[in-house]
Amino acid sequence: MEMSPVTCHTLEEFYHIDGHTFEKQYKDVLSGFRGWDQLDHADEWLLFPDNIGPRLAIDESSLSNGELYTFVTNRDACTRERSLVAVVAGTKSEDVIAVLQRIDEERRYAVEEVTLDLSDSMRKIIRTVFPKANRVIDRFHVQKLACDAVQELRIKHRWDAIQQANDEMEEAKLGGKDYTPYRYPNGDTRKELLIRSRYLLFKSADKWTERQKQRAAILFEEYPDIKKAYGLCHSLRMIFAKNTIKDAARLSMARWYNKVEEAGFKSFNVIAATFYEHYDEILNFYNKRSSNAMAESFNAKIKLFRANLRGVADKKFFLFRIAKLYAYPQ
């Protein structure tokens, strides 16, 4: 069954009806929204205890104007019917805990695993509400930190290159000469090289195109520190991809951590601190190789629905439609 939300404006295009009138009729009469048992508190919290399962995910998503809501989903439901467990306005741990503790203790204690991001508030929620569950920090959030550290280094060099180009232009102007920037064999100037290298630094070298390989070779020759940082980022990606045993991954992680300390990059200090703080939860990935992919998929569907509606005018009705699709049996 198709689980993507459809707007009344979409039906208007296909069936030549008045979308605005149909939306009003659907909201007030056809949908059951006015008699919904969670209508009174829908914009503050929603709870569906029967949807809880042994493997959950927790994440945050924006509904409108950057206003964040915390979503708890059942990973085994694969973002389909009965996958939504709870929705709470905001990300304050005390508010989310208060809602989730409405679920029977027996059900909460039966939860075996929860995937989450690096948020400390999320950790507190899981530790309090699901004390028996293993907390698994999503590997992609860890890898993103490493990618961001590489990009931070590239951006620093880019600003230096822009300043250098401005100085050279000013010097040429004062000397009454035309300014001609130096170009590398691929046709890039220094600042263009650093700007156009952004996307290749996110990818594995085996996925580079021929032009990207040429640009990367020039970049790494000119900026050995970027090459070293990219190598650290790539080796972390390989640790997650290739290691299958937790003890082997622990050893690989420890070696990688030592390499980061030896490299001395300030931009990687955040990663080192994160590893120190979340070491066991990061390694829990290797128990079942669980990730927060289902939560991210759920967020993507919410964003698509929001985009189709061109924004969220009525949060309660928006959450009602989300609940109809993902909280109740079809």
CATH number at residue 319: 3.30.420
In a domain, 1, yes or no: no
Q: DSSP string spanning 123-177?
A: HHHHHHH-TTSEEEE-HHHHHHHHHHHHHHHHHHHHHHHHHHHHHHHHHHHHTT-
Query: Is 60 found in the same domain as 146?
Result: no
Query: Is 148 found in the same domain as 93?
Result: no
pTM to 2 decimals? 0.83
Query: Is 240 found in the same domain as 113?
Result: no
Query: Is 147 found in the same domain as 254?
Result: yes
Query: Is 116 found in the same domain as 205?
Result: no
In a domain, 319, yes or no: yes
Number of structural domains found in the chain: 2
In a domain, 286, yes or no: no
Query: Is 156 found in the same domain as 101?
Result: no
Query: Is 174 found in the same domain as 121?
Result: no
Query: Is 212 found in the same domain as 109?
Result: no
Query: Is 208 found in the same domain as 147?
Result: yes
Closest listed residue to residue 225, CA positions, set 144, 145, 149:
149
Calculate the alpha carbon distances from 142 to 61, 102, 210, 279 in Å.
19, 32, 29, 11
Q: DSSP string spanning 194-262?
A: HHHTTTGGGS-GGG--HHHHHHHHHHHHH-HHHHHHHHHHHHHHHHHHH--SHHHHHHHHHHHHHHHHH
What does the pLDDT profile of the chain (330 residues) look like in tens digits? 445 556 666 666 676 666 667 677 777 777 888 899 999 999 999 999 999 999 999 999 988 778 899 999 999 998 889 999 999 999 999 999 999 999 999 999 999 999 999 889 999 999 999 999 999 999 898 889 999 999 999 999 999 999 999 999 999 889 888 888 899 999 999 999 999 999 999 999 999 999 999 999 999 999 999 999 999 999 998 888 887 788 888 888 888 888 888 888 887 877 878 888 888 899 899 888 888 888 889 988 888 888 877 778 889 999 998 999 999 987
Q: Which domain holds residue 44?
A: 8-138+291-326
Query: Is 223 found in the same domain as 309?
Result: no
In a domain, 313, yes or no: yes
Query: Is 155 found in the same domain as 96?
Result: no
In a domain, 2, yes or no: no
Query: Is 176 found in the same domain as 151?
Result: yes
